[in-house]
Structure 1
Amino acid sequence: MEASDILIGVVGKTNVGKSTFFAAATELSVAIENRPFTTIEPNVGVGYVRKRCVHVDLGLPKCDARNSICIDGDRFIPVKLMDVAGLVPGAHKGRGLGNRFLDDLRRADVLILVVDASGATSPEGVPAEPGTYDPVEEVESMIREVDEWMYGIISKDWEKFAKTVDTGGVTDVAGALAQRLSGLSITKASVARALEETGLAGRKLSTWTSDELREFMRTLRRIAKPIVVAANKVDVPAAAEGVRRLKEALEPKGIPVVPTSALSELILRRAARAGIVKYKPGDPDFEVVDESKLTGRQREALELIRERVLRKWGGTGVQQAINEAVFGVLGMIAVYPVEDVNRYTDREGRVLPDVVLVPRGTTARELAYRIHTDLGKTFLYAIDARTKRRLGESYQLKDGDVIKIVAAAARR
């Protein structure tokens, strides 16, 4: 099973539960220890977004999921997650392991910033008493590190670059900036949007002040590398106030805050894998299926998770944070391509085998290209399998669409 092209960077300082979040989300074995720099090389694994499978809406008894997993009517669609070593203040200047950490984020489409909502971790990643540190300042510090790193990339030899663009007859300034930032996986469309939002569109690059360049890069980071905050350690009572303050400070700025207990999610997933409980990632509760496998201590731990996390917050937050990153800030939708619009099957007769994550606004022809280049080149029209209506190339796909692509026969 292949993950989609989406790459989520999991970031944060040491000891906030970042690697625990990654392990819970991917069930990939990583080093989870109470010391700085446990994660030296970036770990890449497969996590999942969770969405109600379209076969339920269509009244079908089941589907034959192939590139994803369907569990009790919920479709789990793979995405890539990257766990990057813990950030420390001054990392953009090379402190700690410095730019090596930040460079790992170049390919990320969205960042999940894991923070200690209980305020029990110092800026250097040293454990402390709950309530000692400010989680809002923790978020702001981490965002500054990423912003300053990106500013450092674009500001290098800026005057020379700006003069070349201004005097070289370059009319596509957004394209030139996007080319300069190509190593960050930033699109021309994102650059153009940042130019408009900062009021710098149409201005010669050589007239930009350093403050304007900084503001441009902050805006571009917000657009091209959006952030979801996983307010971790909500199993600690002191975290409730931290979550409140984080939501109050960040959500008006467009940064979602998800109350999270990565440790609780990891415990539940391992218990489910061992056959002790029945639990799907993202569920608001679990069911013990084999009491005989539980020790008294394990039973007590599970009840604490139920009381302190699931009933209080509605879930552990790990699945919710991934869903928010993909469906929320990235604005992705799920589309099901099929061959037979009457039976909702592929050419092998499998029911709704594949689901594709695409950005909202994707057209039918763009979907055809996504499936196969030849389909895009020879595209004739698409068919909405629900209504059997013929759709043109510019039709914008909707979440949950079941689509057949009709193309011209390939020439021999």
Structure 2
Amino acid sequence: KFARKVQGENQDIKKALAKQLSGLKVTEENVEACIKKLKLSHKPTEWNDNELKQLSSELRKLKPMIIAANKLDVEGALLNLDKLKKKFPEYKIIGCSSEIELALREAAKKNLIEYVPGDSDFKIKGKLNDKQKKGLDFVKKYLKEYDKSGVQEILNTLVFEMLDYIVVYPGGVNKLEDKNGNVLPDCFLMKNGSTALDFAYRLHTDFGDNFIKAMDVKNKRPVGKDYRLKHRDVIEIMYKK
């Protein structure tokens, strides 16, 4: 139906497909490159099912992909994970257990344990009933074997490695607090290579438009608009009011 519509309305296939896949940030150049690589006709009604599948695969390769191999807590899962990694060496595959992570976060939310997502252990801080104790014993056994639930590792790998983001905190030189006294309540994900001016605009348009300088809070030194941000920088923006 899509192919017939494109051809019937005499649309450019690369523009039509790019528009259809705009939510995935697929560009016209991406589509054109894949069509040329596969030596496809620019008339989509002439594509067979196999060619369409090949085009889909090529377009998918353009985007970073990570496979979350869930249910690592199930018996035999580790063997299956090894098989997956051998069968698909081109993909980043990380084993995880969303059920373990959910149990940890729910227990932490109820103040039964002290747990930081991604940690390899937790501390009991509340009174547990028999059911809770049994459940957390199972979780502890899992963590001892696999070191972590895997969920946070997947998120960190996706954001910081595959998408190439860094974390930047807004702050002041004397106190790293907001106007209400909360210590660094927020952090911002910035693309690696972003500058102090980019960060100013991310905080507020007025900060960017009226930028004077920025302060590297950790080292207590001024930096210019072209200063390249580093992971976990704490930056204060000075601007004309």
Q: TM-score, normalised by structure 2?
A: 0.75
- SS of the counterpart of 1:402? strand
Quick one: which of 257, 260, 276 aligns to 2:112? 276
Quick one: which amino acid aligns to residue 74 of structure 2? V
CA 392–321 in structure 1, closer or farther in 2 if over 3 Å, else same: same
Report if aligned partners of 1:384, 1:391 keep a CA contact under 8 Å in 2.
no
Identity %: 32
**Residues 237-259 of structure 1: CA deviation (Å, up to 9, x unaligned):** 21110111122233x31x32222
Gaps of 5+ in 1: 1-151, 167-172
* Aligned residue in 1 for 2:230: 398
CA 195–337 in structure 1, closer or farther in 2 if over 3 Å, else same: farther
1:46-195 mapped onto 2 (5 Å cutoff):
155=3, 157-159=5-7, 164-165=11-12, 178-182=18-22, 184-186=23-25, 188=27, 192=29
Report if aligned partners of 1:194, 1:223 keep a CA contact under 8 Å in 2.
no
Deviation at 1:310, TM superposition (A): 0.6
* Aligned residue in 1 for 2:198: 366
Deviation at 1:205, TM superposition (A): 7.6
Quick one: which amino acid aligns to residue 191 of structure 2? P
1:348-387 mapped onto 2 (5 Å cutoff):
350-387=182-219
CA 244–364 in structure 1, closer or farther in 2 if over 3 Å, else same: same
Structure 2: distance between partners of 1:408 and 1:263: 50
- SS of the counterpart of 1:157? helix
Deviation at 1:355, TM superposition (A): 0.8
Structure 1: distance between partners of 2:55 and 2:201: 33
Structure 2: distance between partners of 1:399 and 1:269: 26
Structure 1: distance between partners of 2:16 and 2:197: 27
* Aligned residue in 2 for 1:294: 129
* Aligned residue in 2 for 1:221: 60
* Aligned residue in 2 for 1:335: 168
CA 408–179 in structure 1, closer or farther in 2 if over 3 Å, else same: farther
- SS of the counterpart of 2:99? helix
**Residues 331-361 of structure 1: CA deviation (Å, up to 9, x unaligned):** 22111123x3354445666543421012223
State yes or no: 1:206 paired with 2:36: no
Report if aligned partners of 2:17, 2:31 keep a CA contact under 8 Å in 1.
no
Quick one: which amino acid aligns to residue 402 of structure 1? V
CA 405–273 in structure 1, closer or farther in 2 if over 3 Å, else same: closer
* Aligned residue in 1 for 2:103: 267
Deviation at 1:261, TM superposition (A): 1.8
Structure 1: distance between partners of 2:60 and 2:69: 21
Structure 2: distance between partners of 1:217 and 1:263: 32
* Aligned residue in 1 for 2:155: 322
Structure 2: distance between partners of 1:362 and 1:283: 29
If you compute each CA radius of gyration, which structure gives the higher value, 1 or 2?
2
Structure 2: distance between partners of 1:341 and 1:373: 22
CA 324–372 in structure 1, closer or farther in 2 if over 3 Å, else same: same
Structure 2: distance between partners of 1:353 and 1:310: 29
Deviation at 1:314, TM superposition (A): 0.9
Structure 1: distance between partners of 2:229 and 2:54: 34
Report if aligned partners of 1:259, 1:313 keep a CA contact under 8 Å in 2.
no
- SS of the counterpart of 2:72? coil
* Aligned residue in 1 for 2:75: 237
Structure 2: distance between partners of 1:194 and 1:259: 32
Report if aligned partners of 2:35, 2:41 keep a CA contact under 8 Å in 1.
no
- SS of the counterpart of 2:42? helix
Deviation at 1:159, TM superposition (A): 3.5
CA 218–158 in structure 1, closer or farther in 2 if over 3 Å, else same: farther
Q: TM-score, normalised by structure 1?
A: 0.48
Gaps of 5+ in 2: none
Structure 2: distance between partners of 1:158 and 1:216: 17
Higher relative contact order, chain-length normalized (CA < 8 Å, sep 6+): 1
